[in-house]
Structure formats: structure tokens, C-alpha cells
Amino acid sequence: MLLRLSARSIRRSSSSSSFSSSLPYLFASASPFCTAPPMAINHPKDEAYLSSVIPKRIKLFEEIQVNQLEYLRALPHDPIKITLPDGTVKDGRKWETTPMDIAGQISKGLATSALISEVNDALWDMTRPLEGDCKLQLFKFDSDKGRDTLWHSSAHILGQALEQEYGCQLCIGPCTTRGEGFFYDAFYGNLGLNDDHFPKIEAGAAKAAKEAQPFERIEVTKDQALEMFSDNNFKVEIINELPADKTITVYRCGPLVDLCRGPHIPNTSFVKAFKCLRASSAYWRASKDRESLQRVYGISYPDQKQLKKYLQFLEEAKKYDHRLLGQKQELFFCHPLSPGSWFFLPLGTRVYNKLMDFIKEQYWKRGYTEVITPNMYNMNLWETSGHAANYKENMFTFDIEKQEFGLKPMNCPGHCLMFQHRVRSYRELPIRLADFGVLHRNEASGALSGLTRVRRFQQDDAHIFCKEDQVTEEVKGVLEFIDYVYKVFGFTYELKLSTRPEKYLGDSETWDKAEKDLKVALDAFGKPWLLNPGDGAFYGPKIDITVSDAMNRKFQCATLQLDFQLPDRFKLEYAAEDEAKIERPVMIHRAVLGSVERMFAILLEHYKGKWPFWLSPRQAIVCPISKKSEIYALQVKERIHQAGYYVDADISDRKIDKKVREAQLAQYNYILVVGETEAATGQVSVRLRDSAAHLVKSIDDLLEDFKAKTAEYQ
């Protein structure tokens, strides 16, 4: 049985077994320098690379694999109990029974569709033997975990096709952060990839899928990894950053041997549909001072039907790209003299301010206090907060009078200074500080993408300082705030609790308590939530909120993070009820919109350019039928303007049908036609944006409609 499992039996684990590892995704590592320049690469295909480097890796992989299999063969295969989500208990053997075996016992269909399993809340390869009594859950493509695993594995298939076709040096290859496919970065020398290269890449991926290559896993020492990847300086750089005693995981599918945390799908045949989407340039480590890479984006599915549906969706979505709509509606633009920092035109500024006013109104109702904090700070502040060590490469820094300063990428350290500036009492808590301050993050130029990835932005950022016994209620209050706002926008959303990552500040006991507090608050909120192990911020666990828009696309917007670390690092204190006792507050980071820019883009696409009345920059336009009614049209416009609504008047000499049609195309919510009859009666003929029907109303009744729609966020 063990020999039949081959290398599939050595899989990633978060348990304490001899070969288990808690290695973080190597794709997410960061390093300030490379050990050596990349080796020269010839194109279109480096035969020497393919004939020497790849066979060497495979030989080393197989040698290590044999030794590890022999070790497992000698272990006792004691009976174990496997508990399924419905409470059913299956019998198995330690180091022998796999999740795939259990899936086969349940049904043949499940065994051919389950992509990944979860063992005691840790993701686990379907073909990896279980190591003891456990809880087991199986996931297909219709789950986030199954989908992300298929796309992660597809990135390896893409990497294999790229390496085989071009002999390139592979760098990193994760799922995309937006949850739509995957990409792989690689170094190709002077070659620039484009759509013309995609057929060959897709043919390579199809070949790999047809061969049903198993995803095999081994664990190696640092020295073994350095030997295995000695011909790829990007991988060497990653490996050199790891501690000497760190167990490193390596996966193989067919000729591809790659550093990877895993886990993966059982074999490449599960990827039935594969498509390259686009290619772009990228920098290694997202630094303009590093090597220029080529990034290929892809998408994959377990059947062709889903791929076809997705490609049709992409064509539809292109019509509503916020960059296209923003230009068409004269909302915003970007200039090459300030990349990643957008200009909001008068109409775009109306929407931007409406979003902030909406949140400010909720602040007033929910007990938040607005503050204003500086835009730049001495780097000593960021050293205290920990951002200098963990985030500096994403900051804009500069010297002033021989001292280093940085533009703020977030507001939290400044809010700590505000809490700290005088003695605090328990009677003041909770303190909810809200700040729309301008933030700057040094995103790589290749990563910039419309309003969704920028360098200059504002957040509806707030920090709550509270007592430990107030955490549950405060977190619940934030979740209710988020729920209210997203219902107004028409979003559905998912909640995930992201727990302690590999690199974190503080001690494990504090983290355990913070995670427990968030679990209690989520349960009290009463909506379903999922566990997302290891994806917390470096300073604390968080609740991630993923919204789905009208086109069922997922976005990360709101965030809620519990932080015991910053109050400790800044020595924040308040006087407890026992006045002789000093306590440390808990800090809750939260944003509802997230970046206002990003939410602007999401809403523009979500509404397909058709803004609801309350948020619209073009709420009404008055169209006189002839010159005789122009004066009345301007009087109507002024009346609506004085009532506080955005209104224009079309007093051109065009025919009324053309005026109405252009107003509809410009997405005015209300088109108010006036002629001599309306002027004589003090009324307007009302047409709605998406309707040919019209009715006559008095100005007072019309303004009552406007007032009701605004109050109800319609």
C-alpha cells in the first residue's frame, strides 16, 4: 500500500510529524537583494537548460523521495478513526489511508471530483496518508478551497509549459489576489511575451493535463534545496532567506520541480480547461531596481463549459470597465506625471464626496469621532510600530535635515500617538477615532491598475481603543456597520477569520486570545463565517470581508483587525476602575469602504455606470422643448439646485428627442421636459433614465421624490 502511494504520500502538514512543515507560501517572501545576476537565457528555447538543469532537479528529487518513502514504510500502520463533517466515522490506517481512499468509500463521483481535503482544519493533499485520528472534510471546485487549489496547481502547469517552451527561470506563481485564476512570473532575458505566444503555452499545458501527472511532494533541507535550484538565482534568493533548520517543501508534476508550500490537486488531469489571459511585465520583489520579469496570467476550470462561460463574462465585463466608464462619464483620469495618483474631475468628486458623506453620517450615528493627522512622520515612528521592519519597501521615504521621514501608508501609528498624548481613563473607552487622511503606498508600476491599485488614496479608516471585555461588542458593532453599508450598495459578502501567519509580532498566547475574541464576536454576529488559517496581519488576526457585486465578482474591501501589538509597542495605557491599576487597551483596526478609490471603481462597475439617484453625479437635467420655455427651464434648475441636488439644463437648439436621448446616454436619473404647458402650470414632465414612459409632476412633488430616494439610498 505504501509503495503504491509513491511520492504522493509525502504531503504538507501543519501537525508535528517528522516530515510536517509550516512553511509559508514561498511566493510571498521578500528580500532586499539577489545573490547573483540571472544566468543568460537563449530564445526561443534554451535546449541546454532543458537537457541539463531539469534532469538534474528530477534526479535529486527522486533520490530524496526514495529515502523518505523508505522511512515511511518502516513506520507502524496503526488503526485510526476519521470523522466526517456529518459525524460519520470511518476506519483507516496511520501512514496508509488517504483522503482519496475515504472519498472512494463515500462515492465514485466524489473520488473523481474532490480536489483537496482539510485535516484538523489544515489543508491536505487528497493522496497524502493520514497521520492519526482526525477530522476530515473534502472540497470540490464549487468551494473556495477547491477552486483556489485548482488554480494554484494550474500555476504549476503554466510554469511547466513556460519552462519547457522557453527554458526561462521561474520566479513565483500564486493564485491572483482577486480570486480569478493565477499567474507565473519568470525571467526570459530580452524576450517580451504577448498574445502570439499563448497557443504554444496552452498546448504545453494541455499536454501536461493529458498525461495526468501526479503532484508529488518531498521535504528537503536548506542545503538540498540550494543544490536542487542552484541554476535559478531567484529560487536561491528565496531559499537563502529561510532559517538553516527550516524544512522546505518541493513539489513535482512531470518535468517541473518547484519550491512550493502546496497543497495541490491529485494530478494534472483535473484541469480540463486552461486559457492564457494576458501577459505583462513585472519586477522581481516588486522593486523597480530589480530584474524585469514577464508575468503570464491564466484561468482554468474542471470542464470546458465553465471556461466558455467565464470568457463570455470577461467580454461582457469589458463593457463596464471602470476606466472606460470613468472616461466616458468624465469622472476621473490619470496623468503620466503622477502615476498611480488619480485626478477626480468635478463629476467624479461628487461621487467621491457622497461616499465619504455617507460614511460620516454613519459615524455620527455610531459614536465615531473624526480626527485629522499628519501625512508624514519621522521613521522613528515606523520603527516603533514595526512597519519599518515589515513594510518599509512599500513606503515613500525621503530625507529632511539629515533625518529620514516617510509618507504614511496607514493611519494607525498616528492614532496611537493621539491616544497617547494625554492620560486616559477607563471611563473614556471605547474611543473610536476615524480618519480620512491621504495615504501613500509605493506600489510597483506594473502592479498599478486603474482605481483598484493606486499609490495615493483615502480610506474610511478608523481605530477603536477599548477594554478587553469590550472587544466582542465592538467587533459585533463593526460587523453590523459593514452589513448595513453593503446592503445599501446591493452587495452580498462572505466572512473569513484569518489567523496567525508565519511571521508575526508578539507571543502565541496573546494571539490565541485575540483569535478567540474574534470567534466569539463572529458567532454573536450570527452570520456564517469560514476559517482562513495563517493569513492574518503580522500584528494581529483579522476578519476579511469578501464582497460579490452584480456580476458575481469577488472583491476584498472592508477589513477588521484585532491588535494587541501596537498598544504594547507604543506603551498605550489607561487608568482602570481601580485607580492604582494601569491597563493596556486593545486596538481594533477597521475600514468599511476600504480605499474610497477602490470602492468607487467597484461601484461604477457594479452599477454598470447607472448610478442610483442618491449617489449619482448627474441626478437631473431640465430639457426645454423650445426657446419659449428656456427661462422656465432655468428657473426649475435653480429651484432643484437650491434644494441640494445635482441638476443641469440643456438649452441648446437641438430637438427635444435628441436632448432626451443624449440625457439618457449620459445616465441622468431624471430627465425633466418642460414646454409652454408646464411653464403655465408650474410643473415638469418627468422621464426616468431607463423608461420611455413619462408623467407630469409639480416641482414640490418632484423634490419630495428626490428627498425620499436620498433618504432611502435609492
CB distance 629 to 675 below 8 Å: yes
Q: How far apart are CA 276 and CA 194, in angstroms?
A: 10
Chain-centroid distance of CA 127 in Å reads 29
Q: Please, is 160 exposed, middle or buried when counting C-beta atoms within 10 Å of its C-beta (0-12, 13-18, 19+)?
A: buried
User: Which amino acid, one-letter code, is at 396?
Assistant: F
Looking at this protein, which amino acid is placed at residue 476?
A: K
CA dist list (Å): 68 to 9, 14, 73, 359? 10, 18, 9, 57
Hey, what's the cell of 312? 463570455
- Phi, psi for 96 (deg, rounded to 5): -135, -55
Place of cell 495526468: 212
Torsion sign, CA atoms 542, 499, 556, 258: positive
- On whether the CB atoms of residues 242 and 259 are closer than 8 A, the answer is no
Q: Sort strands 683-688 and 694-698 into parallel, antiparallel or unpaired.
A: antiparallel
Contact indicator for 359, 595 with CB cutoff of 8 Å: no
Q: Which 8-state DSSP code applies to residue 75?
A: S
Q: What 3-state DSSP class applies to 440?
A: strand
Question: Are the C-beta atoms of residues 117 and 138 closer than 8 Å to each other?
Answer: yes
Active site residues per annotation: 412, 441, 459, 461, 463, 542, 589
Q: Which residues of 254-291 are buried (b: 16+ CB within 10 A; e: fewer)?
A: bebbbbbbbbbbbbbbbbebbbbbebbebbbbbeeebb
Dist CA 642 CA 636 (whole Å): 10
SS3 111: helix
Q: Is the previous residue joined to 430 through a cis bond, with omega within 30 degrees of 0? A: yes
Residue (of 388, 535, 399, 372) closest to 461 by Cα position: 372
Number of neighbours of residue 26 by Cβ within 10 angstroms? 21
Which amino acid belongs to residue 33?
F
Within 13 A of 19's CA, how many CA atoms are on the CB side?
Answer: 25
Residue 612, preceding bond cis, omega within 30 degrees? Answer: no
Q: Are 125 and 215 in contact (CB under 8 A)?
A: yes
In Å, how far are 403, 595, 710 from 363, measured between CA atoms? 37, 17, 18
Instruction: Please provide the DSSP assignment of 460-487 as one string.
Output: EEEEEEE-GGGHHHHHHHHHHHHHHHHH
Q: Which of 373, 372, 370 is nearest to 362 (CA)?
A: 370
Amino acid sitting at position 562: L
CA distance linking residue 571 with residue 560, whole number of Å: 22
- Give bridge partners of residue 673 from the DSSP assignment: 623, 685
Q: How far is CA 557 from CA 178, 592, 595, in A?
A: 11, 7, 7
DSSP state of 427: G
Sheet holding 273-283, edge to edge: 169-170, 182-187, 292-301, 273-283
Identify residue 465 by its one-letter amino acid code.
Answer: F
> What is the rounded distance in angstroms from the CA atom of residue 154 to the CA atom of residue 312?
21
